[in-house]
Amino acid sequence: MSVWDADPALGRVVLSVEQISKRVAELGAAIEADYAGRPPLLVGVLKGAFVFLADLARAIHLPLELDFMAVSSYGAATQTSGVVRILKDLDIDLAGRHVIIIEDILDSGLTISYLRRSLLARGPESLAVCSLLVKASPQPYPDLEVAYVGFEIEPEFVVGYGLDFAERYRNLPDIRVYLPGAPE
Ligand code: IMP
Ligand code: MG
């Protein structure tokens, strides 16, 4: 039994290591085909996307560029605060570049919607969004185009593969339900 299996705050496995790696390879192949001849700049949204981005970037066999942004919308709660703050901005100029925002999960869509507007204003040649997970939501953001989606999941709070609860579980190799209120 692993340390993760013994943790009472972790519920069922939503996506296994095998499911994730197969899907990431498919996403990489799709991006590689779409961006042949115009290598993209992948913009990873820290911190949650760091594991996904590391695997995805190596599944795209193009001379791509990488940069990172850090935003915060949640603090240590499992509900959105409705406020997006840029904690770390990009180093690379977006003018003339084919930008793909790489996110871990889209819940209300607020974070991606804000980032899209903010990056579009900087004059990229093109801008697309890739999110590993999308939560099935009763009210999806109407104007939100997500070109690449890994998995649609139920509207439960999940952790692992980069996703945290209060900075924990990012190094869990698969994706599991987080059970609030479980004894520590
Ligand atoms: P949105 O702005 O509501 O779409 O939320 C997106 C951000 O909230 C993601 O980038 C995550 O950092 C965080 N988030 C949303 N749902 C979850 C979850 O189930 N587990 C961990 N983080 C989440
Ligand atoms: Mg995030």
Nearest-Å Rg of the Cα atoms of the chain is 16
pLDDT value, residue 181: 78
pLDDT value, residue 108: 85
* Residue 107 annotated in active site: yes
Q: HEC string of the chain?
A: CCCCCCCCCEEEEEECHHHHHHHHHHHHHHHHHHCCCCCCEEEEEECCCHHHHHHHHHCCCCCCEEEEEEEECCCCCCCCCCCCEEEECCCCCCECCEEEEEEEEECCCHHHHHHHHHHHCCCECEEEEEEEEEECCCCCCCCCCCCEEEEEECCCCEEECCECECCECCCCCCEEEECCCCCC
Identify the bridge partners of residue 115 per DSSP, sorted by sequence position: none
pLDDT value, residue 143: 63
Q: What ligand is nearest to the CA atom of residue 176? A: 1
Q: Report the distance separating Cα 153 and Cα 136, nearest Å.
A: 6
Q: Ligand 2 centroid to 70 CA: how many Å?
A: 8
Contact in structure between 65 and 92 (CB atoms under 8 Å): yes
Probe residue for ligand 1, chosen from 111, 141, 177 as the CB with the greatest number of ligand atoms within 8 Å: 111
pLDDT value, residue 136: 83
Q: Ligand 2 centroid to 168 CA: how many Å?
A: 14
Q: Ligand 2 centroid to 49 CA: how many Å?
A: 6
What are the residue ranges in the chain where pLDDT is below 50? none
Q: Tell me the whole-structure pTM to 2 decimals.
A: 0.92
For residue 68, give the nearest of 39, 48, 96 by alpha carbon.
Answer: 48
Catalytic-role residue among 34, 67, 107, 174: 107
**pLDDT tens sequence across 43-63:** 999 999 999 999 999 999 999
pLDDT value, residue 145: 84
Q: Report the distance separating Cα 18 and Cα 8, nearest Å.
A: 23
Probe residue for ligand 1, chosen from 45, 50, 105 as the CB with the greatest number of ligand atoms within 8 Å: 105
The structure tokens listed for 67 are 């940069």
pLDDT value, residue 51: 98
Atom of ligand 1 at shortest distance to CA of 80? 3
The structure tokens listed for 36 are 């042949």
